[in-house]
Structure 1
Amino acid sequence: MRYFVNASSSSKNNASIAIKHTEIVFGTTPESQDTLANPAELFLGSFAACILKNVERFSTLMKFEYSNAEIRVSATRLEKPPRMDGIKYELIVYSTDNNLNMELLKKNIENFGTIFNTVKSSCTITGAVKKLTV
């Protein structure tokens, strides 16, 4: 499987990424740092999206129902050389299904996520997966 994106920017302006029918605008200037996502935040967003996609994927494979899922991701930026490290996540799955095995879900997410595996090869990841019934 191969993936493709197109991105562009102009001098002293913001940039965008085109992915299929989606356009993501992101900040590259000091003026946009408080209003638009920066590349580090897009990176963490991709990590979060990978986990949420796998919740959906494994709900079918593990045969459980859920109403929604939320994830919070944080990371530390190291300075020399500049890189992300110490990524932490908390995944909350809202479900009343007794078939939901949280330990197995966490194991599957951490073993079979494309972005997750790419990231864990270069930095430390710690996470928690919780089930809430509503």
Structure 2
Amino acid sequence: MKYQIKASSVSTKDAILQIKQNEIAFGTTSNSAEILPNPAELFLGAFAACMLKNVERFSAMMNFTYAKAVVNVSAIRTEKPVKMDNINYELIIYSADENINTILLKKNIEKFGTIYNTIKLSCTINGEIIQVKNDEY
């Protein structure tokens, strides 16, 4: 598989990612720091998107249903060397389904997640999957 995106910016303005038929604005100036996602947040967003895509994928393969999945991700930016490290996640699966094997789901996400596997080569990742069985989705 091959992937391709296009990104552009204008001096003193913010930037845009063009992906398929969508545009995603992101901040490159201090004026948008509180409004638009920055590159580090987009990076964590790709990590979260990979996890959620795999929840959908593995729900069919592992024969479970869910109403909603939410992933909370945090990371630390180190200074020497400058990089993202210590990524922590909490994946919450809202489902009353008794067939969910969260241990196997976590193993599958860690083994088959493209973004997950790319990131784990350069930093530590820790996380857990929690199933919420009540009807408050």
State TM-score, norm by structure 1: 0.99
- Structure 1 gaps of 5+ residues are none
Cα displacement string for residues 114-134 of structure 1 (whole angstroms, at most 9, x for unaligned residues) = 000000010000001000012
> C-alpha displacement at 1:80, in angstroms?
1.6
> Post-superposition, which runs of at least 4 consecutive aligned residues in structure 1 deviate over 6 A?
none
Q: Distance in 2 between matches of 1:132 and 1:80?
A: 39
**Per the alignment, in what secondary structure is the counterpart of residue 44 of structure 2?**
helix
Aligned residues: 134
Q: Distance in 1 between matches of 2:85 and 2:96?
A: 34
Task: Report what 2:50 is aligned to.
Answer: 50
What amino acid sits opposite 2:110 in the alignment? Answer: E
Cα displacement string for residues 11-48 of structure 1 (whole angstroms, at most 9, x for unaligned residues) = 00000000001110000001110111000000000000
Report the aligned-residue RMSD. 0.5
Note if 1:17 corresponds to 2:21: no
Q: Distance in 1 between matches of 2:95 and 2:40?
A: 31
Q: Distance in 2 between matches of 1:62 and 1:98?
A: 12
Note if 1:112 corresponds to 2:115: no
- Structure 2 gaps of 5+ residues are none
State TM-score, norm by structure 2: 0.97
The 5-angstrom pairing of residues 1-134 of structure 1 reads 1-133=1-133, 134=135
Instruction: State percent identity of aligned pairs.
Output: 59
**Per the alignment, in what secondary structure is the counterpart of residue 91 of structure 1?**
strand
Q: Distance in 2 between matches of 1:64 and 1:5?
A: 33
Q: Distance in 1 between matches of 2:81 and 2:105?
A: 34
Q: Distance in 2 between matches of 1:67 and 1:16?
A: 32
